[in-house]
Amino acid sequence: MLTEILPLGFELDTIAIAGASLWSLALYLAFSPISEWVIQQLNRWFNFAERSLYTSQSEFEKTRKARESQNAFYASLFSIVPFLVIGALLNWGVEISLGRSWSISMGILACMGCGVYELGRRDGGSSGE
């Protein structure tokens, strides 16, 4: 179906996409404080960049709440990109070193391990209060 829509013929390596996605999810879970920092920085940058588009203060203040909510949404979406890039590199490294059959398996194991780590980190943080 995709080849009917697009005239150019190209193949998608579904194993590489799945492996990179699993590794990026594992990294996103393992480094959740860093992902929150990335979201905050992107949100700050989006708000700053959008402020420069307005010439009058009253025009800027009219739709401020909606624009800040929209920028927070975009920041959370774009915060995934660095983890996807690093996840793709990790998946490629596992494919090169251990073989293609291990890339998905190691990604699943990494997701489970990092998910348990994140649950323990959050539980440890909440019990210390």
Instruction: Please enumerate in sequence order all residues whose Cβ is within 8 A of that of 76, keeping only pairs 6 or more positions apart, or say none.
Output: 39
DSSP secondary structure letters along the chain: -HHHHSSS-----HHHHHHHHHHHHHHHHHTHHHHHHHHHHHHHHHHHHHHTT-S-HHHHHHTHHHHHHHHHHHHHHHTHHHHHHHHHHHHHHHHHHH-HHHHHHHHHHHHHHHHHHHHHHHHHHHHT-
Tell me what pLDDT residue 73 has.
93
Q: Where are the domains of the chain?
A: 32-78, 80-119
Tell me what pLDDT residue 128 has.
60
- Taking 70 as the threshold, does the pLDDT of residue 102 lie above it? yes
Tell me what pLDDT residue 106 has.
92
Q: Which pTM value belongs to this model? A: 0.77
